[in-house]
Structure 1
Amino acid sequence: MRTRLNGQAQAALLFLLGATVLHAGLTDLHLRYVKAGLRPLLLLSGAVLIATAAATVWYEWRRPPHAGEAHREPRVAWLLAVPLFALILVAPPALGSYSATHTGTALQKPLGFPELPDEGPLRLGVGEYAARAVYDDGRHLRGRSIRVTGFVAMSGSGDPYLVRMGLNCCAADAQPVKIALTGELPPVLRPDTWLEVTGGYTPRRTKDPVNGGPVPYLEVTRAEPVPAPSDPYDAPWDG
């Protein structure tokens, strides 16, 4: 005799799956899987799953006894539990230095270069600094103090990069943008350590050893370890 899901079991799975999706959407857990802009869709999906579970329970409660036995679902429906247990039991870390060093830079020429503040240190993302350094020849970066935050990755030859992974949609399409570091660096740099780097623009560039893409340098004057941000991914910078 084959095991089949009855209506109550289906409702329980749908409710637990919906509750797990809602939990991910209401916390920072979803940032491990998708970009922040998809949070409303996650919350909506979780609510729909819970509503479907409630409707299933209501239908089962109103159904006459012994009615519809032939319509029970095959046991393959238990596969619905797989993503549920994956979300509950496995919280994967954000993509880090291993992915960065095995994937070529995704730096693209932006649509434009917005004006920067005239005074004070510039706080730029890795993607923005790299794009301005490569495609704008650092015109608005020269002589400015620049602060950038990212995680450390080491090339095969031991050269340090500061990296952020950019998302178009979800972690499956994440691609790195890299800045090569030179100057006053800590004596020991561990891959996946998050650093806030202060320094200045330099016209020096290198090529990504994976795909030959351009990688600009940053002349470092200070580097301080910082906690990993709640959202470890960046959106691609397009100006």
Structure 2
Amino acid sequence: MNRQAQAVVLLLLGGAVIRASLTDLYLNYVKEGLRPFLIAAGVLLVAAAVMTLWHELRPARRPEAAPAGADGRAGVDGRAEQAGHTGQGDHDHGHGHHEPRVGWLLILPVLGLLLVAPPALGSYAAGQAGTALSSQQRQSDYPPLPDGDPVQVSVLDYASRALFDKGVSIGDRRVRLTGFMTTGPDGQPILARMVLSCCAADGRPVKLGLTGNAPAGLADDTWVEVTGRYSDQVTRDPVNDAEIPHLDVESWRQVPAPKRPYE
């Protein structure tokens, strides 16, 4: 791979990063707050590629003629004379420096972002990892739920209150949550939502067991909005043996996948 090819690959990579950052596509891979950093990184990649192409494609400067010597003949630079004798100058001029071919692998993430964008983490990732909540975490006091009936809460907020606060801060309030369906080890439906610390590489699921009028007959990764009340039922996650709280479902409806799939 010569430098011109490197610059083209770098230009495509930077363009793909900028394209993903200016749409909602980047939300499948990183948290929302990282958008400015992605845009800045993409701009720097594009700028580096453009500067490299400009440097490689600009016309070569002709060497200046040396002053005539005492014998009337044109002076010859010692380095040019040496290069003429050895042929090194012509060789360097005619052949560019090539980098290892492994650099072409950079084209793979470019094609992935431009042609086949990977989806957000879903039921498969949730089934392979244990729930992110652990009963060994320090219990803290939770503020009252906001006004509304039902009140819209995140899966993480409800699970935290149900597990660590034993539902005291929830009481008999009706709550509404949005998540995707996945199948539990016992074949029962589970409502889940992925949480990120930084990017999809560290994503972990928050899982909720469902009782009452739980959704049935839905495929994994189907997004639903459920309304219900606190349930004191708790089961164990077979992946990491952590506790999974439950929600007593009163009603539910299928919804499209949100633009921000992670919490």
Smaller-chain TM-score bracket: 0.7 to 0.9
- Partner in structure 2 of residue 38 of structure 1: 34
Structure-2 separation of matches of 1:25 and 1:119: 34
Deviation at 1:72, TM superposition (A): 4.0
**Identity percentage over the alignment?**
50
Query: In structure 2, the residue corresponding to 1:233 is in which secondary structure?
Result: coil
Structure 2: runs of 5+ lacking an equivalent: 62-91
User: 1:175-205: per-residue Cα shift (whole Å, max 9, x none)?
Assistant: 1111100001244232211110000011111
Matching residue within 208, 211, 221 for 1:182? 211
Q: Match for 1:57: what amino acid?
A: L
Cα RMSD for the two superposed structures: 2.0
**1:219 shift after superposition:** 0.5
Report the 3-state secondary structure (helix = DSSP H, G, I; strand = E; otherwise coil) of the residue aligned with 1:86: helix
* Correspondence for 2:50: 54
* Structure-to-structure mapping, 1:199-218, within 5 angstroms: 199-218=228-247
TM, length-normalised to structure 1: 0.88
Q: Partner of 2:84 in structure 1?
A: none
Question: 1:225 — aligned with what?
Answer: 254
In 1: Cα distance, 2:159 partner to 2:247 partner: 9
Task: Please point out which of 61, 70, 86 is paired with 2:112.
Answer: 86
Structure 1 pair 134–11 and aligned structure 2 pair: CA distance change class (3 A)? same
Inter-partner Cα distance in structure 2 for 1:68 and 1:59: 16
- State the match for 1:132 in structure 2: 161
CA contact (8 A) 2:178 2:226 kept: yes
Q: Does the Cα contact within 8 Å between 2:175 and 2:228 map onto a contact in 1?
A: yes
After TM superposition, list the pairs within 5 Å mapping 1:15-34 onto structure 2. Answer: 15-34=11-30
AA aligned opposite 1:101: G
- Between stretches 105-114 and 225-234, larger displacement belongs to 105-114
Residues 77, 102 of structure 1: CA spacing in aligned structure 2 closer, same or farther, 3 A cutoff?
A: closer
- Structure 1 residues not aligned, in runs of 5+: 235-239
| 1:34 aligned counterpart, secondary structure | coil
> What SS class does the counterpart of residue 4 from structure 2 fall into?
helix
- In the TM superposition, what is the alpha-carbon distance from 1:62 to its structure 2 partner? 3.8
| 3-state DSSP of counterpart to 1:149 | strand
Is the CA contact 2:143–2:169 (under 8 Å) kept in the aligned structure 1?
A: no
Deviation at residue 68 of structure 1 after TM alignment: 8.6
Bigger Rg, structure 1 or 2: 2
Distance 2:109 2:148 in 1: 50
CA distance in 2, matches of 1:70, 1:187: 64
Q: In 1, distance between residues paired with 2:191 and 2:259?
A: 18
Secondary structure of the 2:118 match is coil
Shift in Å, 1:121: 2.0
Q: What is the letter of the counterpart of residue 33 of structure 2?
A: G
Aligned to 1:102: 128
- Give the Å deviation of 1:15: 1.4
Q: Aligned equivalents of 2:109 and 2:215: distance in 1?
A: 42
Contact 2:180 2:224 in 1 (8 A): yes
The amino acid of 2:36's aligned partner reads P
Q: 130-139 vs 34-43, which deviates more? A: 34-43
- Listed one character per residue, the Cα deviations across residues 120-172 of structure 1 (whole Å, up to 9, x for unaligned) are 32211111100000101111211101001100111121111100011111111
CA distance in 2, matches of 1:172, 1:42: 16
- The answer to whether 1:11 aligns with 2:37 is no
